[in-house]
Structure 1
Amino acid sequence: MQTYSPLFSDFYQLTMLAGYFAEGIHETPATFDLYFRKPPFQGSYAVFAGLKPALDFLENLQFGDDDIAYLRGLNEFTPEFLDFLKHFRFRGKVTAMPEGTCVFPREPLVTVEGTLAETQYVETALLNCINFQTLVATKAARVTTAAGRKSVLEFGLRRAQGPDGGLSVARAAYIGGIRSTSNIWAGKDLNIPVKGTHAHSWVMSFPDELTAFRAYARCFPKNCILLIDTYDTLQSGLPNAITVAREMRERGEKLLGIRIDSGDLAYLSKEVRKAFDAAGFPDVLITASSDLDEYVIDSVNREGGCVDIWGVGTRLATCAGEGGGALGGVYKLAWCNGLPKLKITNDPSKLTLPDRKKLWRLINPDGSFFMDVISLEREVPQPGDRVFDPTAPLLRSRIIPDNVRFESIRHTVMENGSIVRDESDLACLADRCVSQLERLPEGSLRLLNPHLYKVAITAGLNDLRTRLLRELQQ
């Protein structure tokens, strides 16, 4: 479990908390929803991740004496408020879907209920944990989808956003389908298989390439993968690797594979495959790296490349790409002191969904996903119901068909500040992601112009939002 400081927050969360305390409304019951408005990477879905570290933060939230001393030194807060913080804990309720679930815009991924003080202060930490890991898990799912049946390794530690970012990348990438990492820390703490080869500096440290390859084969005869592009991939690295493969065979050993880290990966991998096959080594694996992402992998595969293992680093760890960089998840007040709450702005896309809600997934008879429906907490949608577009209050949408099955896909994961549903087995979360991706409608996994999954709201929720909108506008 990663330990987080209780000061893992923005300063304005603390000033709001102090303000609620000063106004005597800090114990007012409130409900917040965490969701995103737009799928990342110009795709159609996201893979939910980051819940476990978020819950760990909530369960262990407690201000220590050194935290109170630091806050006192800011000269911003009253002694009474600082004394309140000494006893401050999160004792609320959290509802969420399991990690590894495919999720879509506007859906409440996480709902937090408790006092206004509790639910407000934790906003930043929850968004930090869930925004980043969901983004990485989504990128990983896109990469593994593009790779098809070929293995993918996570190599992103050196370009990740700091030490904790590197650990979060390894965890979220595993959930998204990348089931090994170069990160030793992640291997120990998260029980993720660790993999790696050697760098160009290994080759350059020896008098020549062949000597370097022979030395590496002697040191690691059971897991020997040679990096063949230090000088010239086809004219030097490839023949030297074949020489070492023959020498290893004579000793009763086996060259596991080679790695290419530059150049035209489609062309080079095909040439390398032909050479190893002709030399009698059809089982030697070809690993490719070098700023890979889902688009490069898809392109190499379409050109007939012969890559067996993809090492994906920078563009995964930094979530690079069109529509990447940040998920853009938000955390909005939906209910307070018995009343539904609605936020409106000049931007209609930022209109919130009021009140406490449920999320339903409608499933076709063959097990595939048809659409998702957001309802009020007391509603149970039925076949034949009218549903509406969540982004346009006056836009009537489709009618729910008769042959779908309704499944409530969120559960209570924390009660009275304690975790009550702990799903921390990464292998199970990754398996769930695979199953979810397979059940999406046809075209949802396309890299370009994917099918957009349908999300709707019930008539009851639409009527409530329309009424509140009219009242606020008047």
Structure 2
Amino acid sequence: MRYSPLLTDLYELTMLAGYLDQGMQEHRAVFDLFFRTPPFNGSYAVFAGLENALCYLEELRFNEEELSYLDGLKIFRPAFLSYLETFRFRGSVTAPAEGSVVFSREPLLTVEGSLAEAQFVETALLNIINFQTLVATKGARITLAAAGGTVLEFGLRRAQGPDGGLSEARAAYIGGVRSTSNVMAGKCYGIPVRGTHAHSWIMAFPDELTAFRHYAGTFPDSCILLIDTYDTLKSGLPNALTVARELKAKGHDLVGVRIDSGDLAYLSRQVRAAFDAAGFPGVKIVGSNELDEYVIESIRSEGGKIDIYGVGTRLATCAGEGGGALGGVYKLVRIGEEPKLKLTSDLSKATLPDRKKVLRAVAPDGSYIQDVITLKDEELQPGALVFDPANPLQHIRLPANARLVEVRSQVMHEGVRCAPSPTLDDCADRAARELTLLPQGCHRLVNPHLYKVSMSQGLNTLRLKLMSRIQNRYAAGEADGDTA
């Protein structure tokens, strides 16, 4: 799928025109994409969207129709439109692998290239990475809450438009939701497609049993019956048992039943007991109806017997406290040979300047201890002193027995990918593996353990130096929002 270069905010174009007018377009620049707060009041995020982001960068070019539209705005000079005819992304990108667990403040993408190209791609990269990382994180939280139960994604009808529905299914898969009702996502990404039928199927027939029999006749080896159209226990359950017996007599098995309303913990217990007593322990119970990680955890804690959780609206829209959007930002950290810092009166919003790398301190058993952001060429050893980015007066030492592993690698050089893309299964497997390595308490839905991200002494020293330069340049209070 091609992303049009017009998928951008107007100010990216006006700044690009301004840089060209000032002769600054070829200045070398470095930008970091990162988020300040973990989504859903949690401890971590699952990185997703990199494949789509790299596709966008590879294919970035203006066609005649797009240039004609910009010309019609009567904003830009002919020289600028001529410049756009050959505009391409020829820079480099450093990023974690998709499916990696990532944390607040540390750079996810670092984009380096000419000021023109590195600045222009801001909006599209944020659009792609913010949404897919948010969904992958929600998918991971839901999958972890299911505790081994299967999760089915069917949020297309509530997703943010057709492309949002595709991106959502892809990102949810990376987070652990490995099936979807979205047939287009199945075709595009190879995700297994699953589904049952709607209440309207039941209502289209004279009675529920007739509807069940016809559906089973059409799909004798993949039949899942929706049993709550009229009354789950008094109508749907006994009729489903009848059809299960009829299928068995013909050499087939009823795959499952779905409950889409009511007290899912109580109803699933009753349905499980009835099928087990009737000799059908293999019939799966699918639960749906506004599920999310909190509801699923509640169902399990109350002894619910659901095997498959159908999650739609609250996954597709990332609903819930602390959800709705990932607050990823894209900030200039170096131009030419000069490190850059954005400084506000709120120290927690001050950026981390210059080119950087992200190191992960790993315990001898392979579990993750904390991450450290360092300057790109800085050497860091276990036992080193590291500092809190929000409060540099707070510092600790890394464990002496920790192993330091670089989290990111260069994925694009001079506009060309550095390696073939991993499969979607590779990304999902990575997420599942890395989530198990987080410190105890990071998965907790309420008041989770907050994974620590620190900065090195070299980065802290540079940051303080740039802050002091700004504060000395202006009177107290006038430096808010300034950069150095």
Q: TM-score range by the shorter chain?
A: over 0.9
- Which runs of 5 or more residues in structure 1 are unaligned? none
Query: Which residue does the alignment assign to 1:208?
Result: 207
Contact 1:98 1:423 in 2 (8 A): no
Deviations 1:44-84 (A, max 9, x none): 00000001101100000001111111111111111111100
Q: Secondary structure at the match of 1:271?
A: helix
Q: Percent identity over the alignment?
A: 64
Give the aligned CA root-mean-square deviation in angstroms.
Answer: 0.7
Deviations 1:65-110 (A, max 9, x none): 1111111111111111110000100000000000100000001000
Superposition pairs for residues 178-327 of structure 1, below 5 Å? 178-327=177-326
Give me the whole-angstrom Cα distance separating, in 2, the residues matched to 1:330 and 1:382: 30
Q: Secondary structure at the match of 1:445?
A: coil
Query: Which residue does the alignment assign to 2:463?
Result: 465
Query: Which residue does the alignment assign to 1:404?
Result: 402
Contact 1:30 1:114 in 2 (8 A): yes
Give me the whole-angstrom Cα distance separating, in 2, the residues matched to 1:202 and 1:214: 12
Greater alpha carbon shift after TM alignment, 420-429 vs 98-107: 420-429
Deviations 1:314-373 (A, max 9, x none): 000000000000000000000001100000112222100000001001100000001100
The one-letter code of the counterpart of 1:441 is: P
The one-letter code of the counterpart of 2:146 is: A
1:424 Cα shift?
Answer: 3.6
Deviations 1:102-158 (A, max 9, x none): 000001000000000000000000000000000000000000000011100001000
The one-letter code of the counterpart of 1:399 is: R
Query: Which residue does the alignment assign to 1:356?
Result: 355
Q: Secondary structure at the match of 2:386?
A: strand
Query: Which residue does the alignment assign to 2:391?
Result: 392
1:423 Cα shift?
Answer: 2.7
Give me the whole-angstrom Cα distance separating, in 1, the residues matched to 2:159 and 2:419: 30
Give me the whole-angstrom Cα distance separating, in 1, the residues matched to 2:66 and 2:197: 44
Give me the whole-angstrom Cα distance separating, in 2, the residues matched to 1:380 and 1:204: 69
Contact 2:99 2:174 in 1 (8 A): yes
Query: Which residue does the alignment assign to 1:413?
Result: 411
Query: Which residue does the alignment assign to 2:114?
Result: 115
Contact 1:21 1:81 in 2 (8 A): yes
1:421 Cα shift?
Answer: 2.4
Superposition pairs for residues 113-152 of structure 1, below 5 Å? 113-152=112-151
Contact 2:199 2:226 in 1 (8 A): yes
Query: Which residue does the alignment assign to 1:337?
Result: 336
Give me the whole-angstrom Cα distance separating, in 2, the residues matched to 1:182 and 1:3: 24
Contact 2:382 2:404 in 1 (8 A): no
Give me the whole-angstrom Cα distance separating, in 1, the residues matched to 2:316 and 2:17: 37
Query: Which residue does the alignment assign to 2:482?
Result: none
Confirm whether residue 453 of structure 1 aligns to residue 451 of structure 2.
yes
Q: Secondary structure at the match of 2:173?
A: helix
Contact 1:413 1:422 in 2 (8 A): no
- Count of matched residue pairs: 472
Q: Secondary structure at the match of 2:391?
A: coil
Greater alpha carbon shift after TM alignment, 454-463 vs 346-355: 346-355
Contact 1:412 1:421 in 2 (8 A): no
- TM-score normalised by the chain length of structure 2: 0.97
Query: Which residue does the alignment assign to 1:427?
Result: 425
Deviations 1:241-292 (A, max 9, x none): 0000011111111100000000000000000001111111111100000010
Q: Secondary structure at the match of 2:144?
A: helix
1:7 Cα shift?
Answer: 0.8
Confirm whether residue 371 of structure 1 aligns to residue 370 of structure 2.
yes
1:6 Cα shift?
Answer: 1.3
Greater alpha carbon shift after TM alignment, 22-31 vs 420-429: 420-429
Give me the whole-angstrom Cα distance separating, in 1, the residues matched to 2:311 and 2:120: 36
1:18 Cα shift?
Answer: 0.4
Give me the whole-angstrom Cα distance separating, in 2, the residues matched to 1:67 and 1:209: 54
Contact 2:348 2:389 in 1 (8 A): no
Q: Secondary structure at the match of 1:124?
A: helix
The one-letter code of the counterpart of 2:290 is: D
- TM-score normalised by the chain length of structure 1: 0.99
- Which runs of 5 or more residues in structure 2 are unaligned? 473-484
Give me the whole-angstrom Cα distance separating, in 2, the residues matched to 1:444 and 1:366: 17
Q: Secondary structure at the match of 1:158?
A: helix
